[in-house]
Structure 1
Amino acid sequence: MNKKLPHLMHKYALFLLLYAAGGWCFLSAQTLDRPRLDFDTPCASSGYNTFKVFFSWAPVGSVMEDNEFILELSDANGDFANSTELARVGDMNNTDTFEFEFGFPDTTAGEKYRVRVRSTKPEKFSPPSDEFPAYYRKVNQSLTINVIDGNVVGDVELCGGGNYELSVHNYPDESAYIWYKNGVAVPGENGASFMVSEAGQYYAEVDYGQYCSSDTASNIVTVTVGEALEVSINDGLPAKEVCPGDNATLTADIDRANYTYIWYKNGEQVGNPGYRPRLSLDASAPQGEYRVRVETPGGCMAESNSVQVTTPDISVTTDKGSNVLLLPGETVTITASTTASAPEYTWYKDNVPLPGNNNRAITINEPGTYKVKVKQSSGCMVEVFSPGTRVARPERFVITIDPDGGYTPCQNASATLRLSGIYAETEDGTSMDVYDEYKNKFNYQWYRNNNYLDGRTGTSLTIDQTTENGTYALKATYEDSDIWSDDIDLRLRLEETVTIEASDDILCGGSITINITTNTGNTDYTYAWYRDGEKISENTTTLDIEEEGAYRLGVSAYGCTVFSNELVIHPFDESVIEVDASERIIIPEGTSKTVTATGGDTYFWYNAENELISDTASVAISEEGLLTLRAYVGDCEVVREFTVEYQDGYIIPNVVSPNNDGINDHWVLPNVYAFNPDIEVTIYSSTGQIVLQTTEYQNNWPESTMTYARNKPVFYYRILKEGKEVVRQGTITLIR
């Protein structure tokens, strides 16, 4: 064995370790140089977007075989936090100098971009390049501005103090623009439009920075500024009154044949634009708000003041309204009021002028329809008529009376009747309301039930006593004529509280007496008894009842009724008496059983000989026979009867011979099971079908009409107590 071998192995392992360590140190010595730009101010576009960056690194072999070099672009401020990858190469791991070829993203727009190179294995970053402006130009042609009706207009003439909007026509949606005045960028103006107010030469560019924008420069628009243009109409006054039928005009204070005039009425253009310094108003409807706009050939514009054109609006009214009543021997004076200046009056009767009646007022003593014509004698000569006033003699008067608001028959403690209307009816049937004019011309007297009420005069009457209920009427007297109102049935409430009570509210045979407990003390009252809302009796203060129901008493007087409280009479419910035994009581002979009743006030137990055997709730029984209970709840009696039998035993037959010989024809159960409501008997066929299922089995199975297919059929039975406990079960064989 070579004993030097372990020593050599140690040397070899040490060599490998040093080699690996040296390799790691070698890899970590990789250097990425600053990228060198092959451009100064890149202006990328869809037609030109190929650029180069030179890059060197060292030493060759210091990166992994699957390393990649990635060229990254910063944001517009030179920050690489969210860098953009421009290019990537994976085949330059053995080349220390090479170039990246790439295109800028279409979102590129800024002045401080930088690039850097990143290796992936190991990951290292080169120093960033120098800053450079870069823009991706979506627009590569000249802008057009001030396009009007499809034509580029190069000259704009402004009036002094005016302004004008220049706007980009062909590319209006770029993010930013540069506007120039006389070759100098206008600070702060970067929108697609620019409002100018000064003379100069204007053009626009898309804002692609200092070096990339010039190719988009627009056409130049020359703006000149002249003197301010002003125009007014109607001598600058805001209003003009036009007389009806006049051929009125409005005139601008500037009259030049090469100017364009556009007139407006109430905001709507009137006629066509042109040389129209005067506007003739429509004589049929001149009213409205007018203005004019004037335009010069050079584009200067001015708007006039607004003028409100009106026509005279005069009115005339009279103080008597549309209907006036003329009483015999009296006169009526009608007076006119008007807004006309220097009015002249002419009165008419039935549309015919009245000669000599030219004053503001007229005194009338004849029926007819009167009106006045007013003519304005200064300014516009305008005429207007007042509404007509009909003057008529009454054929008769009608008066009405009503209670004050809130009155409801038999609900109010007091009420006031008032004269509510006076109407005059003329010979043609027209009714006129003359309450205000004539209410003080009549004398008044009140009546109740056609009886004169002494001292009750005037236009109102207050009633506050129930005894004064009745039919009221008012008589009005004028000279020798009497006028009667319609009748009013006035009923105040009865000031009574009626209470009834009964000797009992449970009906159990016989009758119950209901009495009135409130003493009304008035012999004028009448009475009516009601059950369930139906009248059942009258003119009695007590009622004996034998039927259940809801009872009330109605007390009536002076046309009103007041109702008592309601008493509900119930029938006696015998189920309140409960006994802890069924009607059939089975006891073994020689024993006793205690039966107890509940729900009553007193109890009496009787045997078959009607002898009292207990006067308490319980009774002990030991003999067969009839047992009777008489229980009492108040005056109500409940009678229950029970049959006491000795128990037959517990033998249940398993053979039945239904041959109608009177012997063993039926399956007979002991009395502890038969006729017992707590026992359920079920009989099944041999196939499991239910043949009989019943409680209180009557010892009557099988019926004589029952048929069966084979000799000596076997049936099965089950006996349950209270539907749950199986007390007996077995078989039954039928033989002939």
Structure 2
Amino acid sequence: MRTTPTTALLVLLLLFSYSLTTTAQILNAPEPIADPSGGGTSGWTAACASSGFNSYWVNFTWINAPAVNSDNKFILELSDSNGNFGSPVVLATLDDKNSNYDFNIQFALPTDTRGENYKIRVKSTSPEKVSPTAGPYSMYYVDFNSPILMSQDGNGNIPSGGTIEVCDGTAITMAPHNVPNASSYKYNWYKSGTLLSEKGPSLTTTEAGMYSVQIDYGSICSGSASTDSNIIEVTTGTSLGVALNTPSKTSLCSTETETLTANISGQGLTYVWYKDDVAITSPTVDNHTYTVDGSTPGFEGNYAVEISGPGACLERSAAISITTASNVTLTRDNEANLVILPTKTKTLQVTSSSTAVTYAWYKDGVVLSGETTNTLVVNSAGEYFARITDNGGSCPFTIDSDKTTVVSPASFNIAIDYTAAYTDCQNTTTTLDVKTIEAVAADGTKTDVTADLKNEFTYQWKKDGVAISGETNNAIALSDITANGDYTLNASISGYSATDSNTLGVTLLTSETVAITASSTTFCNPSNPVVISTTTALAGETFTWYKNGVSYNTTDETLTSTETGTFVLEVLKNGCPLRSNEVVISPLNEDLITLDSSDPVILIEGQTKTISASGGTSYQWLDAANVELSTSSSVSLTAEGTYTLIAKIDDCEVIKQFTVSYKDTFNVPNVVTPNGDGKNDLWVLPNSYSNNPNATVIIYNSNGEEILNEKGYKNNWPTSSMSFPKQNMVFYYKIIDDKGGQKQGTITIIR
């Protein structure tokens, strides 16, 4: 063959393309290993970290990579608890392993790690590639690792003997009372040793049993933690019907009292009095009365009593509401939490619906001398409230306002958050805003002062540690992929050092799309593979071809497949996976090519019959001599014979043959003479009925008995083995065609 310059150039390009393909970096999934410096021999299968131990290792290898860029970093990433990498957590970053193809990575679990389905992977940054994932793994940071103390309502009072008796049908709630941030955990609740479905921080039940609880640290780590609680035995008994007797009055002036009395007394029972579902007395035997004092500020509320003891199940009465007889209201006008800045003051204010009242202000429960108006100027931290009194009317009253907490912080904490639901690689826009401002006192006490100070701070937004010009509001709107990065907010206020907020990562989804097409959606021959391609440039990109949801190929920009299935291309763009449309490659099914007429085709001599095909992408009709009759989806026929259709579905070929016969013009015969002379020995039907798989032929004898019932009748009755003992025997026939039409009559056998 003569080689032209163009041919040589194409060869060089192909070789160069092959070289690029074969030298692309391939990252392997990280593999858990034992501590290289320890005595272990096998890798970890779950991670149960704590303050006493939080060190894990994986081994990572990468191949077919003579070099990565000098600024490359290898990053070990952790998914969320469901195995999703929408917002991965960085476990470790290494920038000194670019010439090392096999090395170990040490990492520690974040303290908020809790779940059964975490996965890990390694990402390179230059070029940007992602390894297959490893996992899922059960991973938990065991931050609470002490026996749980459980009590009724989490009130801290563990029942004597560990038993609580409740009335039949009465619910009791049990909860831990020594677990900080108890609602942030999941729990395993047990009844008499059987695990219950409840996972929350409390359990409400009406059933008797031995109850206990532990923090749910997963299928593996729960066993290594030591959080098993005390046991509370719940027993059931019969209700005594405790209730409060009707009081003489339920509205009190400040000079009045009212004694509430339980309807059961003198039985040595234990009583606990409640106001607004909060215990206001300790458990006391025979304490069946309680006096409500109208002069006590805040006496208004719903009162009830709870009884327990020998012969009595735990039972609480219905509540009785006690209110003030005055209709005066007192409203706090300022925020509940306020900040005193150095050399500054704050003004507190309340509003009364009555002008005929006197005011007094309190700080930390102590009255402030001389403060007798509805406003108070403060310059120091404390808990403040106002009290109004009217002793001049017929019903004296005293009312306390809601409390105001004023803090003088040593520093501030600033927290930012997304203003709406956000997921990496799904949102195309997002807005970040100040979520909370906490004033931190010298003793570490934190108070939410967002409402008071949000507009008092000076702000500067930063992206990847660099100040963003012009972004000095308390919120920032981000609308395209150029904004992707890590954001912090620097906040400052006079008299305090500037402080940085938490960091929020933003990875917006690009507006690009990825589309794939196939040379055919039908596969029929390994020598003719299906080619799947995309117009998206893949050179230098990280991409994965998927077949039936499983990674199939990560190196070929155009996919040549001899397999069937559902194919998708995923391209990593700016850290986000972009998925293409689906292409479904199906195996050849010859039944996809159909004719609108059955075989044989019945044609009336002298007329034309048009046969149509469907299901193909091209057609060729041939007669018995292989003469081409048509290349469209239909053909018009005028003569008997055998015909061939060659139909294609893309590059796959389907061949169908059919016969055309003239329609018989004679009627169904009613006489047969089976005497062996070769004439009229058989009952021969017109070809619209004979050999027709859709026509049913039935023959009955003179007694009405069915002697033949078949489709596709072959003109072969009566058979040579049949005998006819009588002359001129009469039979009856019925013919049912494919449209349900019937033809019937008689057949006389003449010997």
Do the two structures share a fold, i.e. TM-score over 0.5? no
The higher-RCO structure (CA 8 Å, 6+ apart) is 2
- Asked which structure has the greater CA Rg, the reply is 1
